[in-house]
Structure 1
């Protein structure tokens, strides 16, 4: 789940939008973020486009009492074009001690959060360069993580430090120097975290070692050896208990499970693994394919904020409370993003619904698989009631993350998939989904490492069209690229009811409609833009009784009404 400066979607996307919680009037607000630093994934400058990040190496010491960090961020670049400079981003509130290029002190220019680093000469395509940034300071404090992100500095009930980062909307540059763009994933990242003795430091990848530093500090050495979006890198520090298990994946591999829980909650975490996580991972692997990062870990860490899909170490802060859906929705939703967001990543911010629409839909899909149609319909109906219909899901042109992550990419994205699944059938729907993720439908025997890929909306449409042998562009044109939902207009005649679709700009929409006449259900196909149902005033007619088709109904109101309702919450 992704967030920018303000809450534009909830952490439980099946429910209505939650407002950002304001800070108490007496609490001093931190300095505002530089607009470029506070909004990840913005268009890359010419200099940034000239170099590809190959690896990151981050060495940090965390000072909980000062709410500060100090460290060295190393970036290994491979030049794509001739360049005498490279570019990184780092929040301007950090002090920079020095910058090295290939081990030699280098000149750099700093404009807000942008570091332009002189290489000392022009490097040619294919040549490598290493940049080290020595920096320190107090990172931006999250106003309301994970919606308004940054670093969270809290204490456990017994007064021990409990720290986490959540920067998916704002980006990695809030606490380390990075390129800050989802389109350039490093092949690997080494993360060494030094914390006061008695605390654990948990992050992405595989733990390489735990080493004492003097008498009162400990360094945790982690290696993430698979590509990951830099916004997915997260720091988690606290008095954790490490729970380690494993499971046999669908491809026969032994996959390590790690849950880092506060010591007093270790038993609850164990129950969560046994009662939820194992069943959820079995569902995902059966429907989609192997957990993408089985050669790393299937990881969760307890956090002082609600949660976030940090690759291989998902943040979990729901306090182990089961909910009305019969399973832990947060655990399941963040796990979904290991496929939708981490295995596939949107090619542009415009395609963010591929993360969140699928991420939402996997929850009712799991309900259907485990509890049946009533649970599925309940989840989908609650999601439907939260639709806003103010902006298209897929926007045109260059956009910000705040524009991209409107709440309908969750609900309307999920409902688009709901209707598509009904229209083309389960078999083709899951085949298309697997191909979107892995590039093949035959996923059960895939071995590690599994290659992540970038995807866009048209990729999915093309896969659906090819697998079905039909053209479904009309469905996606209306559902994804228009703000308003299609409306089914009914006209009663003497011995019939005539249905016609009303769409924005009169776009074609040959959507069939299930209709029940006196208890007999039949799917009617449009003919010349109309559906004619033989029925008189004496007949009991219910249009789409199981809500298979996403369409406008007065129960959700229009954009203006929905906006006013949300303002009053």
Structure 2
């Protein structure tokens, strides 16, 4: 998700505003239950495992409304006499059927509770079909404040998209609304006005013209995906097709759904940039996770979002001074960090976004060299706030989870870890986090996604290195303030010691240039003392995350002085 906004991000923020595209309205506020995805599941919801979703919708751009049905197939993991779904209360429900028969239900704002015809036992399946219609919530500023985007192309045709990572699927279809319960598969049928195309997740099964002039698009997603990743993209698209030869020998279909006037730009972006990016990801991490489906991009009226197999792209096709498209690179990162690996709870959202941010300087290092890498890391450092822990305890809302430090500080934790344990072990740990194995090149499809926590990553790092790095993660991730390396003249010597919030253990070694020679200073036994006449330059390459005068300390007002660059 695009929440972290260094300077190059902020220059593009206005592109994402639906108001600038003629779709600005003042929608009614969202029910808090609906407006915050991934919250703890009720006992009723915990009794079910989603096996299959089906979404069947008519899209009406003229009235900015949708109508149709959403089907859920649950398997009971505990005996239950009811099942639960969520759906924004602004929709009118025509009826709900359970196993083909009209069922009674209760509606508490956005929560739907359906009575089952009997007590269903563990292992039984139940099919729930919700028929509904209405005007979905309009995104105030997609993708950061999500919902539907009803816009028009520069030539006047309807141009529609959804982006709901923070709010969840229940903004426009009935679902469980929790990333920790992915359906095994999903079918998406969309009917749109003549001349428009509907691009979404998975593989297109058929496209057919209807008697009333509309066109139906029938898509099937045959791999698990978080329900917030399901996205509708509708416009007068042209489809550019390519293929990609994957590292494991697979030939993967590639689709780029672009506006007609940008057909050649989309083609050029793939040929000149995107395929090289994916080659790098595969070489560094392992096979593109969804090779049995597609590598997909779709041009959108908002900036972008990592929708599984159909990444939203609205940046305008221009390469950056880095020589590649940062937006595409960031969203592609999420096919691995977010879609293949999914945080078990919102507390661990940095596993998506810290890795997602770090993949850009890591790519720049291999593509352009050290200067490009360090430039990007330096920019990220200047944006650090250090007001809240990266990994919070307790129940976390989406707004709390996606604070800027899960991007920049998360990326810097990885930067420092890589310096400590070396490239080989760092990337080995990263591959194990993603795939469950470091030997990834020949993995075959389908590749199973997994749910992970920060503790899972720490355990992998400790096992591979044979050392306990818990102290590092405790200081960097589980509390807000940064440690500071204090240098003092004392007793005729230079005293170096770590000043750590909460006085936590922090035996962080530090690279230093001492009398012109590089060495690592060892703090495992406490403070380091050096002769006072030594010429000392601490951490000249900025490998270690620490408090420097470049950035201020957090103030409770939310200001970070002097380095507030967001």
Q: TM-score range with shorter-chain normalisation? A: over 0.9
Distance 1:550 1:77 in 2: 46
Aligned to 2:546: 551
1:94 paired to 2:91: yes
Distance 1:361 1:16 in 2: 20
1:352 paired to 2:325: no
Closer/same/farther in 2, CA of residues 37 and 171 from structure 1, 3 Å limit? same
Conserved in 2, the CA contact under 8 Å of 1:16 and 1:386?
Answer: no
1:73 paired to 2:67: no
Conserved in 1, the CA contact under 8 Å of 2:385 and 2:560?
Answer: no
| SS of aligned partner of 2:550 | helix
1:112 paired to 2:109: yes
Aligned to 1:38: 35
Distance 1:321 1:206 in 2: 28
Aligned to 2:326: 329
Offset from partner CA, 1:431-464 (integer Å, 9 cap, x none) = 0000000000100000000010000000000000
Offset from partner CA, 1:45-86 (integer Å, 9 cap, x none) = 111111111000110110000000001101001111111110
Number of residue-to-residue matches in the alignment? 561
Q: Which runs of 4+ in 1 moved over 6 A?
A: 11-24, 565-569
Distance 2:193 2:163 in 1: 21
TM-score by length of 1: 0.95
Closer/same/farther in 2, CA of residues 89 and 512 from structure 1, 3 Å limit? same
1:82 paired to 2:79: yes
Distance 2:8 2:341 in 1: 20
Aligned to 1:196: 193
Offset from partner CA, 1:204-234 (integer Å, 9 cap, x none) = 0001110111141000010000000000000
How many Å apart are 1:532 and its aligned residue?
2.3
Q: Can you give the 5+ residue segments of structure 2 that lack an aligned partner in the other structure? A: none
Distance 1:364 1:15 in 2: 18
Distance 1:109 1:562 in 2: 41
Aligned to 2:478: 481
Distance 2:86 2:491 in 1: 69
Aligned to 1:563: 559
Aligned to 1:468: 465
Q: Which moved more, 1:338-347 or 1:319-328?
A: 319-328
- Of residues 257, 263, 266 in structure 1, which corresponds to 2:263? 266
Aligned to 2:537: 542
- Of residues 171, 174, 178 in structure 1, which corresponds to 2:171? 174
1:251 paired to 2:238: no
Conserved in 1, the CA contact under 8 Å of 2:318 and 2:325?
Answer: yes
How many Å apart are 1:530 and its aligned residue?
1.1
RMSD of aligned alpha carbons: 2.1
* 1:489-500 superposed matches below 5 A: 489-493=486-490, 496-500=493-497
Closer/same/farther in 2, CA of residues 479 and 150 from structure 1, 3 Å limit? same
Closer/same/farther in 2, CA of residues 567 and 410 from structure 1, 3 Å limit? closer
Closer/same/farther in 2, CA of residues 558 and 396 from structure 1, 3 Å limit? same
| SS of aligned partner of 2:43 | coil
How many Å apart are 1:162 and its aligned residue?
0.3
Aligned to 2:157: 160
Distance 1:381 1:161 in 2: 41
Conserved in 1, the CA contact under 8 Å of 2:190 and 2:218?
Answer: yes
Distance 1:507 1:333 in 2: 34
Distance 1:71 1:329 in 2: 37
Closer/same/farther in 2, CA of residues 47 and 562 from structure 1, 3 Å limit? closer
How many Å apart are 1:15 and its aligned residue?
7.0
Conserved in 2, the CA contact under 8 Å of 1:14 and 1:360?
Answer: no
Closer/same/farther in 2, CA of residues 283 and 398 from structure 1, 3 Å limit? same
Conserved in 1, the CA contact under 8 Å of 2:18 and 2:151?
Answer: no
How many Å apart are 1:11 and its aligned residue?
8.6
How many Å apart are 1:540 and its aligned residue?
3.8
Offset from partner CA, 1:9-29 (integer Å, 9 cap, x none) = 3398977997997969x9651
Distance 1:17 1:496 in 2: 51
TM-score by length of 2: 0.96
Aligned to 1:52: 49
Aligned to 1:5: none
Conserved in 2, the CA contact under 8 Å of 1:474 and 1:509?
Answer: yes
1:142 paired to 2:139: yes
Distance 1:533 1:346 in 2: 44
| SS of aligned partner of 2:559 | helix
How many Å apart are 1:562 and its aligned residue?
6.5
How many Å apart are 1:242 and its aligned residue?
0.6
Offset from partner CA, 1:231-262 (integer Å, 9 cap, x none) = 00000000111111111111001011111111
Conserved in 1, the CA contact under 8 Å of 2:248 and 2:442?
Answer: yes
Distance 1:156 1:234 in 2: 19
Offset from partner CA, 1:402-435 (integer Å, 9 cap, x none) = 1111110000000000000000000000000000
| SS of aligned partner of 1:428 | helix
